[in-house]
Structure 1
Amino acid sequence: MRCAPQAVAGLGPRRPRRGYEKRDAMADDVDGRGDGTAELRGVARALAETVPQLVDRLSTAKPGRLYRDALELLERPLLGHVLSLTGGNQLRAARLLGLNRNTLRKRCRELHLDLPQSTRGARGAAV
């Protein structure tokens, strides 16, 4: 990801890049893809570095629910964001996520996510 020099200057002093960050950035530049692969690797690495702290906190707070609680922490913003990307269209969101629409609806219900109301009205009824 490239930023305008003025935007970068406003961020203050930069910390030196770690070796793997330099390598990932150079790999994107060298192969010419610029598809964000290196950026995704960075996000995956940051997530992996966060997992031990997450496990420590969740395992002491609610023993026996670690897996479910960790998934919920990721799933809630993921589903919410994809639904907002699709303008609340559940079918498009489900396809983007690789889920069945009914599975998406069930997970949203279980996570207490508000689903947009249908704009069609009752089945077969004119609006």
Structure 2
Amino acid sequence: MADSADGRGDGTSELQTVARALSDTVPLLVERLSKARPGHIYRQALELLERPLLGHVLAMTGGNQLRAARLLGLNRNTLRKRCRELHIALPREPRRAAEKGPSASLAPSAARSPY
């Protein structure tokens, strides 16, 4: 099934629509940001896009930071830093049994049970 009116099916039409919507939003965004914090428009505008972008890609990858970073074309550490700066909660990385030490994998399950 074709994605665009010209039948190319490559999503170009949708991307152009999104680009137009973003372009149409810029004047209002600049006006509002300039009233709130003049001199910080660029950084705030980027953060307004970056926060949902990073959050969405992390959700899309099930919280896998390496996969999210690769999709975004970022280094994993850069992704982690930007998430920290933007106050985006990162899922805690599960520690492997080998990293916990041999005793962790041999721990009795009763130790975890409330009974």
TM-score bracket, normalised by the shorter chain, equals 0.7 to 0.9
> How big is the shift at 1:122?
8.6
| Correspondence 1:100 to 2:79 | no
| Correspondence 1:124 to 2:99 | yes
> How big is the shift at 1:81?
0.1
Structure 1 match to 2:28: 53
How many residue pairs match? The answer is 101
Of 90-99 and 114-123, more deviation after overlay is shown by 114-123
Structure 2 match to 1:8: none
Distance 1:79 1:67, change over 3 A: same
Distance 1:76 1:39, change over 3 A: same
TM-score, normalization by structure 2: 0.81
RMSD of aligned alpha carbons: 2.0
* Distance in structure 1 (CA, Å) of the matches to 2:23 and 2:16: 10
- The one of 54, 57, 64 equivalent to 1:79 is 54
- The one of 47, 57, 65 equivalent to 1:90 is 65
Structure 2 match to 1:38: 13
* Distance in structure 1 (CA, Å) of the matches to 2:100 and 2:49: 38
Partner-residue secondary structure (3-state), 1:26: coil
* Distance in structure 2 (CA, Å) of the matches to 1:96 and 1:55: 29
| Correspondence 1:26 to 2:5 | yes
Deviations 1:10-65 (A, max 9, x none): xxxxxxxxxxxxxxx532x2xxx212110110110111000010000001110111
Runs of 4+ in 1 over 4 A off after TM superposition: none
Structure 1 match to 2:107: none
Distance 1:68 1:123, change over 3 A: farther
TM-score, normalization by structure 1: 0.73
Q: Which structure 2 segments of 5+ residues have no match? A: 105-115
Q: Which structure 1 segments of 5+ residues have no match? A: 3-24
